Structures are given as structure tokens and as C-alpha cells.
Structure 1
Amino acid sequence: MAARFSTDVPNRLDRLPWGRFHWLVVLALGVTWVLDGLEVTLVGSLAGAIKESPRLQLTETQVGMTASAYLLGAVSGALFFGWLTDRLGRKKLFTITVLVYLVATIATGFSWDFWSFAFFRFLTGAGIGGEYSAVNSAIQELIPARRRGTTDLAVNGTFWGGAALGAASSLVLLDPVVIDPELGWRLAFAVGGALSISVLFLRRFIPESPRWLMTHGRREEAERIVRDIEAWVEREKGPLPPVQGRPITIDPRTHTTLGEVARTMFRVYPQRSTLGIVLMACQAFCYNAVFFTYALVLTRFYDIPSAHIGWFMLPFAIGNLMGPLILGHFFDTIGRRIMITLTYGVAGILMAVTGFAFAQGWLSAWEQTAAWTVIFFFASAAASAAYLTVGESFPLEMRAMGIALFYAFGTLVGGVIGPTLFGALIEGGERTDIMWGYLLGATLMLIAAGTEWKLGFAAEGRSLEDVARPLSQREDA
């Protein structure tokens, strides 16, 4: 292992003006959420057609179970690939995970029964789950501190760009005039496969995280990559501003044990761990419960044909996309604590009102969609901020694993239970039962808002090393 050394790599990366390099990072790595949004929306929009497939013959409960299979895969992938990401590096893993996604999503189109469909959904989720930990950590480590919140929320929000693409695709692929719906829903999964091929190409130009390299003793490689990035930005922006702050001293390490991860989370940062669990679990329940089953609500209670579901998913997706894009800047200016509390709280209150209105039969299909569009304008920013929070909360050596653990726990508690519960409630056919599900989601969002207000911490404009000291950083730095 390399000897102890001092480095100003973090300060040099944080002082860079925004340029084409950063846009490349956002485009090549942020497309993960486009793929996830595409997957979730395709299955949501196609739920009616998949349920009616003569070969699959799924019940409402089984549709909910396949959504849970996808999320279980995401949990497993996040944990396994997150562990590898901290050991082997960001670049290797965000290539492997997109390959897993590519193969699995295409295979989904060849499903022949419930079990094969659920299995391929599980594998697709594993690829996406691995992407969350590898990509989130890489983005946060390459983006300047003053733009980290805005960028992270916008990137996470592009999930809904994929959702809009999925909704629009379903309108064509489920139109019986254009194509047989039984073939259409199968071809829909090829859309994600085609996108992921272009992702592989773009990621060839993204370097390994210099921050990860420095903690693993690869000082020369980290310095070379930073010099290359600086030269790229300088050619575009002119002379760079001077480096601010003191260098840090690093004792390199090959890996961080799971025991160290646990001690850091629950002894050094117990409040941040509690906050991460609450934010992730609450938003996961609300999102996955509502979104994975909304097509079933539209077909069951509003008699909307399966081929028309995309028209209702499209505005819903656009509202979700605009939330992080419009509100993201305020997480870097007003601050994390106020904005996260506000977005969770507003979403929770509006969800409770909408759930009651649904139970009373006051809303048409379009009015129900408009209500969800407004609610998730705020909830989308809140959910994106949850990923930002868990990424910023812990030291660099365990960042990917930290993201993976909180994503996994939040998804298990909130995401896997939600779709199955709502699938069963919808199959029961009673609006009042579904209202109680919506009220549960609203309560969880309000609990998350209160937890953020109590335990939230300031990370806006601060370097990652200042927010959470690296485990390999020495006291004499």
C-alpha cells in the first residue's frame, strides 16, 4: 500500500467552473434514472395489458408482486454492487450494472408466465439498484460543491424524463391500430435496452473518481485525471480560479470492512443514519405504492382502457420531472433542511386531501391525475433530496455502500410492501380501503418532514470531506 501523502484533489475539483465536462458527467451517469423511470412507467402503463395477456394471465395482486420483485432485485443489486463499488471503483461498476440491466430488460419481453416475468423483473431491478450506488457516488464526487445539490436533484429527477418516455411509448405500443397489444408490451422493454447501449458508449469518456483513487493510494492516477479535467475546463473557460483551502493528508487503504461501515453509521453518525432511514423509507412507500398501481386504479375505478393509460401517466411524469428542476436550486441557496422539510410536508398534506377526495368519488380520472401531478411535483424533489442526503452523510470510503444500505432498507420497508399492499387493496374494489392506503402514505411523508426538521444538517456549499471526514484522513491534516 502507498505511504501517507497530502493532496489537494478535493479542493481542485470543487473550485472548477461548470463546463462541458460536468454536462458529460450528468448526461452519461444521470441517464440511470431515465432508465429506471422508463422501466417503472412502462410496467405501470402496461399493467393493464400485461394483466390481460393470454399467456401471462396475471391477477391484480400478481401485478403488484412483480413490482415488488423488481424492487427486491434493486435492493439485492444495490447491496452487492454497492459493496463492490467501494472496493473496485466507480467506473468498473457503472459499466457492469448497465450491462446487467440491458440483458435483463430485453429478456423481460420474452416472459412466458408469471414466474419468468417476475424473475426477469428481479434481474432488471438488480442492474438498476447497482446503478444507484455506483452512479450517485461518482456524480457527487465529480461535481463542484456549490452545485452539488442542484445537480443531484436534477439528475435524480430525470427519472421522470424516462417516465414520460415510457408513457409516450406505451401510447404507440398499446394502440391496436398500430400493433397487437400482446406484442406491443413485449417490444416496449426493448426501448430500455436500446437506450442502455448508448449509455455504454458515453460512459467510456467518464474517468474514475479521483477522490476514490486518492483514498486507495493511487495518487499519481488521481492527479493525472484531475489535470486532464482542469485542462478540459480551462480550454473552455479560460484561466481557473486559485485553489482554496488546505490539502488533506491521506493514509491509503485497500477497502473498508462492513464492521467499520456499521460503526461509522451507528456510533459516529447515529442521527444521520436515522434521518437517512426515515427519508428513504417514507418516500419509497409513497412513490412505489402510488405509481406502480396507478394504472390499475384508472382501469378499475375509472374504466380507462389499457391503451389510453399513457395519456394519464404523461402529465404525471412531467410534473415529477419539473419539481427537482425548478426547486433544486433552492436546496443550494435556502438550504437542505428547510427545503427537505417543506417538500415532504407539502406532499404529505396534499396526499391526505387527495386520498379523502378519491374515497368520496369527487374526482374524475383527469382531476385525480392533476392532483397527483401537483403532489409529486413536491414529492419528487423530496425523494431526490433523500438520495442527496444519504450520499453526503458518510465518508468517501463507504459512500457507495452507505447509499446502497439506505436505498435497500428504504425500498424493503417502503417500496416492496407498498405495491403489494395497494395491489391487494385495489383488487378488493373498495375506494375507502384505498383511501386508508393513501392516508398511510401521507402520514409517512409528514413523519419524514418532522424528522428532517429535527435531525437535518447543513451540507450546502461544503466539500464532501468537510461534511463527512474521510476515514483515511489523518488528524494532522
Structure 2
Amino acid sequence: MTVSAGAKARWWKGITGYQWFVFAVAAGGWLFDNLDQRIFSLARITALQDLMGPHASMLDVQAFAKQATALFLIGWGIGGLTFGALGDRFGRARLLTIAILIYSICTGLTAICQTHWEFALLRLATGVGVGGVFGLAVALIAETVSGAARLAMLALLQVLSTVGNIGAAFAKMGVDTLASQQTIPADGSWRWLFAIGAIPALLAVASGMFLREAEPWLKLKQAGALPKGWLGSYGQLLADREERRNLLIGTLLAVAGVVGLWAVGEYAVDLQDAVFTTYFAAQNNGGNIAAQVAQAKNWAYLLQMVGGAMGMLIFTYIADRYGRRPAFTIGFSAAFVMTLFVYWRLETPTDAYWMMPLMGAAQLSVFAGFSIYLPELFGARVRGTGVSFAYNLGRFAAAGGSFASALLSTRMFAGFDAPAPLRYSAMVMCAVFLIGIVASRFAPETRGMSLRD
């Protein structure tokens, strides 16, 4: 036991330079992937207000923002369901490079769009690239390193995703500051944020030049055992009883986490906008209310991401010490309770500064579990397909959740004064976390087991 604990404490010992390069490309692609997602979350309202014009009401802008989010998630789901299978057939390193290129180029193009429908369609296209990254990235890491190093690197991949989130928050704070100082035009300042999202194209160049396929995939290729056809891995995945069962469990877990984050948690930014505006207007301190609201939202988001990183580390400890199943049960239970509480009680910026870190820790904790657990559920021939399908099918469910949330806020709860419709619709949507709690009780325990290669 002492030797095992010491080995885990020194998991980085013996890792080669190339293995670190694989981790850097995979984690970097996922980091910038998350930066892109968060730029969209933080800038979508401002962008759509600009593109839809002064005659559009805030309720109309928020409703279209939810539709744009749904299109983004649909593209994400399409990319995830196709890129994983293509990676199993043609090579995960090659398809990871293509996915990074797609989302970086389309994000850059968003910076120059002229209408709200162009904005929404570019988010659909961006989602295709974004959706392709996760399954390919975790499969490459899982098959390149082993043992304690595999668990640590897969967990760090998700922890570093919060660096992308925090980077987006700092980028928005910087752009807001430059706009307030009139260094850049205040009108259309959101375009600078989406221009930043084109940077990972440089990472794709490095990936295309130096990233190689993992040894298990190369052995399957030499043996002629790769899936047949572009989407042939789906046939192999569904033909095996154990793979089918694991696919169902992994998908239910991911659906609960992804819907909970994107169809519930992401709209905390919109709630903060309404609550903070009312709060600062009531203070009547003569300051620029819009600037005060933007600053408070940025700090709340930054603290939420710090909490998310801590939640992922706690999940990793529980998963390694006690098992994957109890870690998921605890994570989803915490997400249900904390998210419900935040939407019920959030009233001031001070509330947000302590509530959002706790909600971030609860909601994002299970995402560390997805990177650690999903590749452990599937064999080498279909690992990319299985991970991508399980993780990204949740995007379609989240898109449906976004439409449902929009209907709840604009129809069922439309008679209430703002921001009550947003509060109540989000609280109803919190029921999705119960799916994760139930699914975790049936999940096969993989703690201490080798990958099925």
C-alpha cells in the first residue's frame, strides 16, 4: 500500500517527452475548446443585442440566445457522433487536428458576421469541430500512458479546461476595460473576443506535423482489425452486449452532466445580468451600471471556474480512493442541491461570489469523471466512438433542454416579473441531475482495472 501510494504521488516519473507532447496537444485542444465555449456564453447576449438591433426586446434576445445555444449544441453533437467513429477508422491524431482547425476557423469567422442568423449558423459549424475534440483527446491520452499517469493526465485534461474558462473570463474583462477606456469601440467589442478564438489554429499546425497515432490503434491497423467503413465502429459497438450496456450507462451519465451544465448552469450568467442590473440601479451610486454589472458577472464567473477546478480534483480523489460509482453519486447529488439553491436564492453580487464557486464545484466535478471513466468502459477498436457517442449525445439532449428552458421561461412562467421566469425554468430543469444519480448506481466499477485493449 505504501509503494502504491508513493507511485501515485510521483505519477509523472518516467513519462517521455513525446507522451508530454501528446498530453499538451490533447489538453491544449480541449482547453481552447472550452475557451471557445465560454467566450460564446459570456458574449452571446451582447453580440445578439448588437446584431438584432435596438428594436429587439431583451426577452427576444434571450430567447434567440437559447436557440443559438441549441444550434451550437446540435453541431457539437453531430461532430462528436461522427469524429469519434472516423477517428477509430482513420486515426485519432489526424481527426483531432481537423476538429481543432474547424472550431478555430469558424470562431474567427464569427467575429466578422453581420446578422444574428449568421451568428447562429456559425455557432452550429463551430459546434461540429468542438464536438470532435473530447473523445479523440481522451482516447489518445488513455492509449499513450498507463497506470497512475493515465488517471492523473485525464483528470488534468478536465482541470485545464477551467483554465480555458478562466482565460475567457479574463479576455472579456480585458475587452470590457479597453471598451470603457475607448481604446477600442464599445459597439461591437464582442467581436474581439471571437477573434481570440482563432488562435488554436496554430495548435492544429503543431498537431498535424508531430502527433502520431497511439500504439493500440497502430496494432489494430497492422492486424487489419480496424472498423470497416466510415462509421463501421458503430456496428461493432452495438453488436457486443457489454459494449452496449456500457454505452447506455456512459450516455446517461453524460446526458445528466451536459444538460445540467448547458441547459441549466449556463443561464446563471443571464440570471446574474438581470439581478445585478436591478441591484446596482437600486444603489443609485451614480456609476456606470452596465460596467458594474459586467465586472460583477466576470468575477462571479471567474470564481465559478476556480470552484469547478477544485470540484474536479475532489472528484478525482474520491474516484481513485473509493471508486468511480460513489464519486458520480456524490457529484450529481451535490449538483442537484447546489444548483437548485443558487437559482432560488441568488439576489446580489455578494451572493454570487460565494454561491457560484460552490455551484461550479458541484456541476463540473462530474466532468473529470467523464474523462477518466468513459475510456475505461470501451475496448480499443471502438473507444473513440464509444467515448464520443456517450459524451456528445448529451449535446442533443442539452439542445432539447435549451429549447425546453426557453419555452418554460417564455410560456409557462411568462406571467411572472423578471427574472422569475428564468429562475423557475432553471429550477424545474434541475431534475436532470436525478438521471445521473440513478445511472451511477448501475455503473460498472472500473477502479484499478486495465484498459480493455
Whole-Å Cα distance in 1 between the matches of residues 18 and 319 of structure 2?
A: 23
Task: Tell me the residue number matched to 1:216.
Answer: 221
Cα distance per residue 1:293-341 (max 9 Å; x no partner):
2332122232173643322221112211232234424322322112121
Q: Write the distance in 1 (CA, Å) between the matches of 2:256 and 2:52.
A: 36
- Which of the numbers 98, 108, 111 marks the counterpart of 1:109? 111
Structure-1 separation of matches of 2:338 and 2:124 = 32
Pick from 441, 449, 463: which aligns with 2:450? 463
Match of 1:288 in 2: 262
Counterpart position of 2:379: 395
Alpha-carbon shift at residue 289 of structure 1 (Å) = 2.1
The whole-number CA distance in structure 1 between the counterparts of 2:30 and 2:265 is 15
The equivalent residue for 1:92 is 94
Shift of 1:110: 1.0
Residues 37, 291 of structure 1: alpha-carbon distance in 2 compared, 3 angstrom cutoff: farther
Q: Which residue type is aligned with residue 33 of structure 2?
A: D
In the other structure, the counterpart of 2:29 is 32
Is contact 2:264–2:430 with CA below 8 Å preserved after alignment?
no
**Pairing 1:26-425 to 2, within 5 Å after superposition:** 26-53=23-50, 59-175=61-177, 176=179, 177=181, 178-201=183-206, 204-217=209-222, 252-253=225-226, 255=228, 256-264=232-240, 267-303=241-277, 305=290, 307-308=294-295, 309-358=297-346, 363-413=347-397, 415-423=398-406
Distance 1:79 1:194, change over 3 A: same
Distance 1:43 1:76, change over 3 A: same
Give CA deviations for 1:200-237 in whole Å, capped at 9, x if unaligned.
Answer: 3256333211011111216xxxxxxxxxxxxxxxxxxx
Deviation at 1:117, TM superposition (A): 0.5
CA distance in 2, matches of 1:79, 1:274: 15
Say whether the 8 Å CA contact 1:344–1:378 is kept in structure 2: yes
Greater shift, 301-310 or 28-37, is seen at 301-310
Aligned AA (2:188): L
2:19 is matched with 22
- Give, as a single letter, the amino acid of the residue that structure 2 aligns with 1:252: A
Q: Is the 8 A contact 1:296 1:426 kept in 2?
A: no
8 A Cα contact 1:293 1:422, kept in partner = no
After TM superposition, give the deviation of residue 29 of structure 1 in Å: 0.8
CA distance in 1, matches of 2:36, 2:43: 10
Matched AA of 2:430: A
Find the aligned partners of 2:188 and 2:343 in 1 and give their Cα distance.
35
Select between 153-162 and 111-120 the one with higher mean Cα deviation.
153-162
Tell me how far 1:186 sits from its aligned partner. 0.8
Could you tell me how far apart the structure 2 residues matched to 1:117 and 1:167 are?
A: 21
- Which residue of structure 2 aligns with residue 9 of structure 1? none
Query: RMSD of the TM alignment (CA)?
Result: 2.6
Give, in whole Å, the separation in 1 of the partners of 2:166 and 2:117: 28
Amino acid at match of 1:93: L
Cα offset for 1:376? 2.0
Letter in structure 2 aligned against 1:29: A
* Separation in structure 1 between the aligned mates of residue 401 and residue 95 of structure 2, nearest angstrom: 29
1:355-414: CA deviations, max 9, x gaps?
Answer: 3324xxxx313313521311221321212313433322121111111122222321111x
Tell me which residue corresponds to 1:475: none
Question: Helix, strand or coil for the counterpart of 1:66?
Answer: helix
Counterpart for residue 3 of structure 2 = none
Post-superposition offset of 1:128: 1.0
SS in structure 2 of the partner of residue 46 of structure 1: helix
Cα distance, 1:144 vs. partner? Answer: 0.9
2:447 aligned partner, one-letter code? E
Aligned 8 A contact 2:12 2:149 in 1:
no
Name the CA shift for 1:143/1:436 in 2 (closer, same or farther; >3 Å): farther
State percent identity of aligned pairs. 20
Note if contact 2:87-2:95 (Cα within 8 Å) is conserved in structure 1: yes
Per-residue deviation at 1:419?
3.2
Q: Structure 1 residues 279, 424: closer, same or farther in 2, change over 3 A?
A: same
What SS does the aligned partner of 2:446 have?
coil
**Structure-2 separation of matches of 1:163 and 1:18:** 27
Higher relative contact order, structure no. (Cα contacts within 8 Å, ≥ 6 residues apart): 1
Is this contact kept in 2: 1:348–1:441, CA < 8 A?
no
Normalization by structure 1: what TM-score? 0.79
Aligned to 1:28, what secondary structure does the other structure show?
helix
Q: Which amino acid aligns with 1:296?
A: D
TM-score, length of structure 2 as denominator length: 0.83
Contact conserved, 2:97 with 2:204, CA < 8 A, in 1?
no
Larger mean CA deviation between 286-295 and 105-114 belongs to 286-295
Counterpart Cα distance in 1 of 2:423 and 2:366: 22
**2-structure distance, mates of 1:254, 1:417:** 31
Q: Choose 91-100 or 383-392, whichever is displaced more.
A: 383-392
Deviates more, 1:47-56 or 1:160-169: 47-56
Q: Is the 1:44–1:291 contact (alpha carbons within 8 Å) kept by the matching residues of 2?
A: no
Q: Please say which of residues 106-115 and 386-395 is displaced more in the overlay.
A: 386-395
Distance 1:150 1:439, change over 3 A: farther
Q: What is the SS of the residue equivalent to 1:457?
A: coil
Deviation at 1:124, TM superposition (A): 1.0
Distance 1:113 1:335, change over 3 A: same
Range with greater deviation from structure 2 (199-208 or 384-393): 199-208
Residues of 1 paired with 2:160 and 2:425: CA distance? 27
Structure 1 position 135, deviation (Å): 1.3
User: Which shifted more, 304-313 or 71-80?
Assistant: 304-313
**1:23 Cα deviation after fit:** 3.0
199 and 378 in structure 1: CA distance in 2 versus 1, 3 angstrom threshold = farther
Counterpart amino acid of 2:30? W
